Amino acid sequence: MNYDINEIRSHFPSLASGAIFFDNPGGTQVSQAVIDAMIAYYTTANANTHGAFETSRRTDETIAAGRAALADFLNARSSNEIIFGANMTTLTFNIARALGRWLNPGDEIIVTHLDHDADISPWLALQERTIARWIWQISKSIFRQKPGSLRSAARRTRSAR
């Protein structure tokens, strides 16, 4: 399939300057359609969820439509499987704190040294409780996992099943 890269770029106003943005994932550039949808939301529905106001109902509808669209895109069984949050780092800190309640000293979390900081730092915070984290080394030259090192780590780490 061929894509017209100039046509695609024309939908992203931030690229008009000719600058290259290497700031992902936190600063992902958005299309004009996203900007327009955000303007429409902020000017017609910006309110707390589950309120008695019309703007609250519009907010609930917008969230429900977004969850349904993403569930369809991801082939989720239900839109109830889709949760939105502030950002990756905040979501991972929240899940690490929640799961940390059931982890015991000596339990380990396996991450790689190539993971984004948002995937590593939340688990480092659990070290205060002597829950260690294992850094699974990946060959930087070929970016391939060394299966032996994972097997070694997994033998010491209980399954979360």
Span 25-84, pLDDT tens digits: 556 788 999 999 999 999 999 999 999 999 999 999 999 999 999 999 999 999 999 988
- Give the position of tokens 């992203």: 12
pLDDT at residue 161 tops 50: no
**What predicted TM-score, i.e. pTM, was given to this entire model?**
0.64
| Cα distances (Å, whole numbers) of residue 3 to 6, 8, 9, 30 | 9, 8, 11, 18
Residue 59, token pair as written in the block: 């907010």
pLDDT at residue 143 tops 60: no
Q: How far apart are CA 22 and CA 14, in angstroms?
A: 12
Please report the pLDDT score of residue 50 as a whole number. Answer: 95
| Helical (H) or strand (E) element with 110 | strand 108-112
- Specify the range with the lowest mean pLDDT, choosing from 27-36, 82-91, 122-131: 122-131
- Give the position of tokens 């995937």: 119
